[in-house]
Amino acid sequence: MKIAVGSDHAGVELKKTVIAWLEKNGYESEDMGPYTEESVDYPDYAQKVALSVAGGLSDQGILLCGTGIGVSIAANKIKGIRAALVFNPEFATLARQHNNANIICFSARFTDEDTIEKSLRNWFTADFEGGRHERRVNKIEPCC
């Protein structure tokens, strides 16, 4: 499974933790930047990751910014993307099981490393449950 990973300057440090966790657990990852803590605009990196997932070049994506809000809003503008802002491992499980989310977003300023690692473990072990959730997910389309 190939995972696209991106952030803004606020998420650069924790992005390293995420990539190390992916490597340790046997996932191929692509770091889509940024690579320094120089100030950048989060939509640029959210769009890179989202386009990679939407275009099938990556199976799933991981995004980080200060709050996680900016990257999740930006990623969700790309057709086919269901980006979930996750604050704890339970959210990670439910975002996969109920929402079939394909990008997980974290707040780099309000989430600790342990929570991120446990959330990633849950994210990669939970599967979409389909059924009534599939009907609902299919209704998530731009409508106006």
Q: Is the peptide bond before 34 cis (omega within 30 degrees of 0)?
A: yes
Q: Give the span between the Cα atoms of 29 and 106, in whole angstroms.
A: 17
111 contributes a contact to ligand RB5 by CB under 6 A: no
Catalytic-residue membership of 9 = no
Q: Which residue lies nearer to ligand RB5 by CB, 8 or 30?
A: 8
Catalytic-residue membership of 133 = no
Residue type at 46 in one-letter notation: A
Q: Which residue has the tokens 């980006």?
A: 83
Terminal C-alpha separation, the chain: 34
Residue 54-73 contact track with ligand RB5, rule CB under 6 A, x = bound: -----------xxx-xx---
Residue type at 71 in one-letter notation: V
Q: Is 140 helix (H, G, I), strand (E, B) or coil?
A: coil
Q: Which of residues 69-98 bind ligand RB5 (CB under 6 A)?
A: 69-70
Proportion of the chain in helix, strand, coil states, percent, rounded to 5? 45, 15, 40
Give min distance, CB of 91 to ligand RB5, in A.
18
Q: Which of residues 19-48 bind ligand RB5 (CB under 6 A)?
A: 42
Q: Which residue lies nearer to ligand RB5 by CB, 18 or 124?
A: 18
Which helix (H) or strand (E) segment holds residue 113: the answer is helix 113-125
Give min distance, CB of 64 to ligand RB5, in A.
8
Structural tokens at position 94:
């439910």
Residue sitting closest to ligand RB5 (CB):
70
The site for ligand RB5 (CB under 6 A) is made up of 8, 10, 42, 65-67, 69-70
Task: Just list the catalytic residues.
Answer: 65, 98
